[in-house]
């Protein structure tokens, strides 16, 4: 059913001739050469925190992506992003985003915007390229990796912008509020695997990893709304000229942790966090980005012990990073330091923890508007308490060197 | 025309009559040129606090008395290239029609709600709309509803004597009648006390060549073009 739905959506969005005539498309083909040195990846039955491992490196197809944009009735903008990772996901091609944005002209400096559909919450200050990719590094920070893995706003988001620069002021301000469903298992991946740094976004109808390959076992993030409760987030943005952008957001998926899905044999995960970000562009050459995110998640899947309901599983987590990027002409150099932590606060036995930090170094050269090459070195030093359960050491220093050749159309 | 017609008469007439006509014609030419010479020139210099020229500053010489016959160009172009308004700052005389072509491959949705001219151009690419006439003086800020990072400025002035300083910080103004003038200097990145504008009162005598100097008291705010970054859409 899901595959059929995916197929219908893709066919409708991408192939309808009447739309094609008045629509914009863009596409990227991302090829990689990877040398990975670490534990087996969480995508392949391990608890390593990299996307690739030494059994799954070498020449890889990272992704083929097609973006679609169509303007409708002047103020309605339809957007969809289809991607193929060709790594055994449920569908060869799937969507990461599909939404309509209603964006009327500003009224005396005030503007309302309404997004309907499936899209990213305004958290990442890194992921600015079409398809929610980062122009700075191949792999986004731990925070934004997690956002790409376990979160998608499937619902409605309202934005109110004050366009102060149009009135001669130096600031622009924005308020955001959203109501959504289907994010009922967000937090589970973080609780099991800990943090990761990779660019594998979870698709709307797809899964993380392969079914029956423990410990992740093909987690389906957005497949069902188990409690039919509405999640929300609310936040604000402030921009100072083109030099500074500040974002803050409170997120609460409002899931009932006692709700149970028979389809997936899972309880809901109630996840809340606060997120703050800053992007500073002091000159044309330099960009500095920093984000911080902290929160907790509670899962009802602790079951009963001697007919007495044990407490929930609960986890607290936080991560932050600082990224500095320097650009001259077609060349860009970026470096980022991430630190991350997750620890279990309630359990009926084992307490999982993840602590670590990571360095990412990237160089990109834009050879033409259609072709760019990039090199990235990623080092993650982490200690994940769950690893001995599958025979792996708690501590691991993992390393990934990637060469990317990216074609854009 | 006048000179050619008079020369033709002089060529076919009798010598005496021709000489008289020629003399009268020369007098007329001298009278006309005399009026031209009476109009003065001005070289305005825009300097920073260290004495270096500052380029790109909007400079206007506004005469105290109306100059009815003098008009600047009545058409101008504000293009859109690489998700930026080009030029970013345009200075025009009141009554000028401005064309807004979109040279990008993507559509833009241009608007202004500034008091001197409020308008909106529905989504378009290429050259879709006729010029917009800016019929009131003042500063008009332009935006694109699709790309919030696109900001442009049109400074509309009643005066026909205006321009932007060159790389050396200078602006040459020609044909100014004598009289009192208010010199105004403006730029979106100026940080001058008050209304971010510099003003200077001057008096221009006949046949005079003035070289007034305007000094920034504070440096211009750093301008960021983000020329590559403008292609990016924030999520």
Distance from CA of A108 to the nearest CA of B (A): 6
Size of interface A-B (CB pairs under 8 A): 73
- Give per-residue pLDDT as tens, B97-137: 999 999 998 889 999 999 999 999 999 999 999 999 999 99
Q: Which structural domain, as residue segments, surrounds residue A102? A: 2-408
Please state the domain count of chain A: 1
Closest CA to B234 of A37, A120, A45, A181: A120
User: Is A306 within 8 Å of A329 (Cβ atoms)?
Assistant: no
CB-CB neighbors (< 8 A) of B143 in chain A: 106, 163, 165-166
Closest Cα in chain B, distance from residue A340 (Å):
23
Considering only A6-15, A104-113, A210-219, which range has the smallest mean pLDDT?
A: A6-15
When pLDDT is averaged across residues A297-317 and rounded to a whole number, the result is: 72
Return the residue in A127, A144, A163 with the most chain B beta carbons within 10 A, the one to mutate for interface testing: A163
Q: How far is B123 from chain A (nearest CA, A)?
A: 6
- Tens of pLDDT along B57-108? 999 999 998 776 667 678 999 999 988 999 999 999 999 999 999 999 888 9
CB contact under 8 A, B222 and A243: yes
The domain made up of B79-158 has a fold known as Immunoglobulin-like (2.60.40)
Q: What pLDDT, on a 0 to 100 scale, did the predictor assign at position A4? A: 44
Say if residue B194's pLDDT is above 90.
no
Under 8 Å between Cβ of A258 and A267: yes
Which pLDDT tens digit goes with each residue over B158-191? 999 999 999 999 999 998 998 999 999 999 999 8
Q: Which residue among B114, B224, B232 places its CB closest to the CB of A242?
A: B224
B127 phi/psi in degrees, rounded to 5: -120, 95
Beta strand B96-99 with B162-164: parallel, antiparallel or unpaired?
unpaired
pLDDT band at B207 (very low <50, low <70, confident <90, very high): confident
Q: For residues B164 and B59, is the Cβ–Cβ distance under 8 A?
A: yes
CA–CA gap between residue A32 and residue A373 (Å, rounded): 10
pLDDT, tens digit (0-9, with 9 covering 90-100), for A123-156: 999 999 999 999 999 999 999 999 999 999 999 9
Please state, in angstroms and as integers, the Cα–Cα distance from residue A55 to each residue in A52, A117, A208, following that order. Answer: 8, 37, 18
Mean pLDDT of A310-339: 93
- A277 contact residues in B (CB cutoff 8 A): none
> B145: nearest CA in chain A?
A105
Complex ipTM, two decimals?
0.81
A14-18, A190-194, A302-306, range with greatest mean pLDDT: A190-194
Contact status, residue A205 vs residue A93, Cβ threshold 8 Å: no
Contact A135 B232 (CB under 8 A): yes
* Range of weakest confidence among A300-309, A311-320, B8-17: B8-17
Q: Say if residue A382's pLDDT is above 90.
A: yes
Which range is least confidently modeled, A25-29, A201-205, A270-274, B9-13? Answer: B9-13
What per-residue confidence (pLDDT) applies to A387? 96
Domain ranges of chain B: 2-37, 40-70+160-221, 79-158
Q: Write out the H or E segment, with its range, that includes residue B134.
A: strand B132-134
Across A64-78, A93-107, A304-318, B161-175, least confident range: A304-318
Distances (CA, A) of A85 to A98, A163, A199: 18, 39, 11
User: Would the pLDDT of A261 be above 90?
Assistant: no
Q: Which residue has the tokens 């000229």?
A: A241
Among B83, B111, B235, the residue to mutate for chain A (most A Cβ within 10 A): B235
Query: Read out DSSP for B60-98?
Result: EEEESS---S----SEEE-EEETTEEESSEEEEETTEEE
Distance between B23 CA and the closest CA of chain A, angstroms: 60
Evaluate the CA torsion angle A151, A155, A160, A166 in order and state its sign. positive
The partner residue sitting opposite A106, judged by closest CB among B111, B139, B233, is: B111
How many Cα atoms sit within 13 Å of A403 on the Cβ side? 4
CATH number of A56's domain: 2.40.160.10
Fold: same for B40-70+160-221 and B79-158: yes
Query: Are B185 and B214 within 8 A, CB to CB?
Result: yes
Q: Rounded to a whole number, what is the distance in Å from the CA of B115 to chain A's nearest CA?
A: 10
Give the span between the Cα atoms of A154 and A2, in whole angstroms.
16
pLDDT of residue A214: 85
Q: Give the up-direction half-sphere exposure of residue A400: CA atoms within 13 A in the CB hemisphere.
A: 36
Interface of A with B (CB under 8 A): 24, 71, 74, 77, 103, 105-109, 111, 119-120, 122, 124-125, 127-130, 132, 135, 161, 163, 165-168, 172, 241-243, 281-284, 287, 327, 366
CB-nearest to A74 from B123, B141, B148 is: B123
Give the model's pLDDT for residue B230. 65
Query: What local confidence, expressed as pLDDT, does residue A17 receive?
Result: 39
Positive or negative torsion for Cα A217, A222, A224, A227: positive
Chain B residues within 8 A of A111 when measuring between CB atoms: 145
Per-position DSSP letters for A195-212, written without gaps between them: ------PPPTT--BS-TT
Measure the CA–CA gap between A56 and A50, rounded to whole angstroms: 11
- What percent of chain A shows pLDDT beyond 70? 92
Residues A93, A82 contacting (CB under 8 angstroms): yes
- Here the tokens at position B138 are 């003042």
Residue A1 has pLDDT above 50, yes or no: no
Distance CA A211, CA A286 (A): 43
Indicate the angle between helix axes B2-12 and B15-38, nearest 10 degrees: 160
pLDDT one-digit tens code per residue, B6-53: 333 333 333 344 444 444 444 344 344 434 445 788 999 999 999 999
Task: Determine the residue of chain B that is closest to A280 in CA distance.
Answer: B224
> Between A227 and A374, where is the model more confident?
A374
pLDDT for B4 equals 35
Nearest to B233 among A105, A124, A128 (CB): A128
| Mean pLDDT of all residues in A380-404 | 97
Sequence-separated (6 or more) residues with CB below 8 Å from residue B100: B78, B79, B80, B110, B121, B129, B131, B132
Nearest-CB residue to A120 (from B114, B120, B235)? B235
Task: Give the position of tokens 């620890």.
Answer: A343
| Pick among B155, B227, B234 to test the A interface (most A CBs inside 10 A) | B234
pLDDT at residue number B168: 96
Contact A128 B114 (CB under 8 A): no
Contact residues on chain A for B122, CB-CB shorter than 8 A: 74
A-chain residue closest to B234, CA distance: A128
Q: How many helices (H) and strands (E) does chain B have?
A: 2, 18
CATH topology of domain B40-70+160-221: Immunoglobulin-like (2.60.40)
CB contact under 8 A, A284 and B113: no
Instruction: Choose the mutation target among A164, A166, A285 for the interface with B, i.e. most B CBs under 10 Å.
Output: A166
Nearest CA-CA distance, residue A125 and chain B, Å: 8
B122, closest residue in chain A (CA to CA): A74
């Amino acid at each position: 059913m899901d595959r059929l739905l995916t197929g219908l959506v893709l066919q409708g969005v991408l192939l309808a001739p009447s739309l094609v005539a008045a629509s914009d498309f863009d596409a990227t083909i991302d090829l990689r050469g990877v040398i990975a040195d670490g534990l087996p990846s969480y995508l392949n039955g391990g608890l390593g925190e990299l996307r690739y491992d030494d059994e799954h490196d070498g020449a890889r197809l990272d992704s083929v992506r097609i973006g679609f944009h169509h303007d409708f009735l002047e103020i309605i903008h339809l957007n969809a992003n289809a991607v193929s990772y060709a790594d055994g996901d449920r569908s060869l091609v799937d969507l990461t985003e599909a939404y309509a944005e209603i964006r009327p002209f500003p009224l005396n400096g005030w503007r309302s915007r309404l997004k309907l559909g499936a899209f990213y919450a305004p958290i990442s200050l890194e992921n600015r390229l079409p398809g929610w990719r980062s122009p700075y590094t191949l792999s986004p920070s731990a925070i934004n990796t997690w956002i790409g893995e376990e979160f998608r706003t499937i619902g409605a988001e309202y934005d109110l912008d004050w366009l102060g620069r149009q009135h001669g002021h130096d600031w622009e301000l924005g308020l955001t509020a959203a109501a959504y469903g289907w994010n009922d298992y967000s937090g589970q991946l973080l609780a099991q695997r800990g943090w990761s740094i990779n660019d594998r976004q979870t698709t709307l109808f797809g899964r993380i990893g392969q079914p029956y390959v423990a410990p992740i076992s093909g987690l389906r993030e957005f497949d069902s709304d188990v409690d039919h409760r509405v999640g929300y987030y609310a936040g604000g943005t402030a921009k100072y000229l083109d030099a500074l952008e500040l974002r803050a957001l409170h997120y609460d998926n409002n899931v009932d942790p006692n709700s149970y899905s028979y389809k997936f044999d899972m309880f809901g995960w109630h996840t809340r966090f606060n997120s703050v970000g800053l992007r500073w562009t002091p000159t044309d050459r330099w960009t500095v980005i920093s984000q911080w995110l902290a929160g907790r998640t509670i899962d009802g899947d602790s079951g009963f012990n001697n007919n007495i309901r044990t407490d929930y599983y609960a986890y607290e987590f936080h991560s932050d990073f600082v990224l500095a990027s320097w650009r001259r002409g077609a060349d860009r150099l970026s470096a980022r330091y991430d630190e991350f932590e997750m620890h279990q606060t309630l359990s009926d036995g084992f307490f999982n923890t993840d602590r670590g930090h990571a360095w990412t170094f990237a160089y990109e050269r834009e050879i033409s508007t259609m072709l760019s090459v990039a090199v990235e070195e990623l080092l993650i030093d982490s200690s994940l308490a769950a690893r001995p359960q599958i025979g792996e050491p708690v501590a691991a220093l993992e390393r990934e060197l990637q060469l990317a050749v990216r074609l854009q159309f | 025309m006048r000179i050619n017609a008079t020369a033709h008469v002089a060529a076919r007439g009798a010598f005496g009559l021709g000489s008289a006509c020629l003399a009268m014609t020369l007098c007329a030419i001298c009278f006309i040129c005399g009026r031209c010479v009476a109009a003065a020139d001005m070289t305005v210099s825009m300097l920073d606090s260290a004495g270096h020229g500052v380029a790109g500053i909007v400079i206007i010489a506004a005469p105290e008395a109306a100059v009815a016959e003098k008009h600047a160009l009545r058409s101008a172009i504000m293009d859109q290239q690489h998700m930026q308004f080009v030029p970013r700052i345009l200075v025009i005389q009141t009554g000028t029609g401005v064309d807004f072509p979109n040279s990008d491959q993507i559509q833009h949705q241009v608007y202004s709600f500034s008091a001197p001219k409020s308008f909106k151009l529905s989504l378009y690419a290429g050259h879709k709309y006729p010029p917009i006439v800016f019929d009131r003086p003042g500063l008009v800020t332009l935006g694109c509803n699709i790309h919030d990072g696109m900001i442009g400025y049109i400074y509309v002035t009643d005066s026909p004597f205006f321009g932007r300083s060159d790389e050396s910080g200078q602006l040459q103004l020609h044909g100014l009648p004598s009289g009192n003038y208010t010199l105004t200097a403006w730029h979106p990145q100026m940080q001058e006390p008050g209304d971010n504008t510099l003003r200077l009162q001057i008096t221009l005598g006949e046949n005079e060549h003035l070289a007034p100097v305007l000094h920034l008291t504070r440096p211009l705010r750093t301008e960021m073009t983000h020329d590559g970054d403008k292609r990016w859409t924030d999520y």
